[in-house]
Amino acid sequence: MPFVQEILKCRSLSIVGLEKNTGKTECFNYLIKRLSNKSLSIAVTSIGLDGERIDSVTGTKKPEIYLREGIFFATSEKLYKQRKILSEVVGISDSTGSLGRIITARALACGKVMLAGPTGTSDLKQWMEEMRIKYKLSLCIVDGALSRMSLASPTVSEAMILTTGASLSLNINHLVQKTGRLVDLVRLPLTSANTFATLENVHSGIWGITKDSELINLKISSALEIEQVETVILQTMVAVFISGALTDRFLNVLINRINVDGFELIVRDFTKIFADHRTIFNFQRRGGKIRVLQRSNLIAVCVNPASPTGAVLNSELLCSELENEIKVPVYDIIKDGYEA
pLDDT above 70 (res 151): no
Q: What is the dihedral of CA 78, 81, 84, 86, to 10 degrees?
A: 130
pLDDT above 80 (res 55): no
Of the candidates 119, 40, 55, 107, the one whose C-alpha atom is nearest the C-alpha of residue 80 is 107
Which of 212 and 47 is assigned the larger pLDDT?
212
Residue 56 is predicted with a pLDDT of: 47
Q: Give tens-digit pLDDT for 179-211.
A: 999 999 999 999 999 999 999 899 899 999 999
| Band of pLDDT at residue 111, cut at 50, 70 and 90 | very high
Give yes or no for a contact between 36 and 71, defined as CB atoms under 8 angstroms apart. Answer: yes
The pTM of the full predicted model, rounded to 2 decimals, is 0.87
Give yes or no for a contact between 136 and 39, defined as CB atoms under 8 angstroms apart. Answer: no
What average pLDDT score do residues 105-120 get? 91
Residue 63 is predicted with a pLDDT of: 62
Mean pLDDT over the full length of the chain: 89
Residue 119 is predicted with a pLDDT of: 79
What average pLDDT score do residues 140-159 get? 78
Residue 169 is predicted with a pLDDT of: 94
Q: Give tens-digit pLDDT for 244-303.
A: 999 999 999 999 999 999 999 999 999 999 999 999 999 999 999 999 999 999 999 999
pLDDT above 60 (res 49): no
Q: What is the DSSP letter of 75?
A: E
| Band of pLDDT at residue 333, cut at 50, 70 and 90 | confident
Beta bridge partners of 143: 15, 46
What is the three-class DSSP state of 279? helix
Q: Give tens-digit pLDDT for 66-94.
A: 999 999 999 999 999 999 999 999 999 98
Residue 121 is predicted with a pLDDT of: 83
Q: How far apart are CA 114 and CA 315, in angstroms?
A: 29
Which domains does the chain possess?
A: 2-187+297-331 (3.40.50), 193-292 (3.40.140)
| Nearest-5° Cα angle at 9, 11 to 161 | 75
Q: Cα Rg for the chain, rounded, in angstroms? A: 21
Residue 60 is predicted with a pLDDT of: 45
Of the candidates 285, 298, 296, 293, the one whose C-alpha atom is nearest the C-alpha of residue 330 is 298
Give yes or no for a contact between 292 and 219, defined as CB atoms under 8 angstroms apart. Answer: no
Of the candidates 252, 258, 205, 255, the one whose C-alpha atom is nearest the C-alpha of residue 236 is 258
Of the candidates 263, 262, 270, the one whose C-alpha atom is nearest the C-alpha of residue 240 is 263
Beta bridge partners of 3: none
Residue 57 is predicted with a pLDDT of: 44
Residue 340 is predicted with a pLDDT of: 40
Give yes or no for a contact between 301 and 329, defined as CB atoms under 8 angstroms apart. Answer: yes
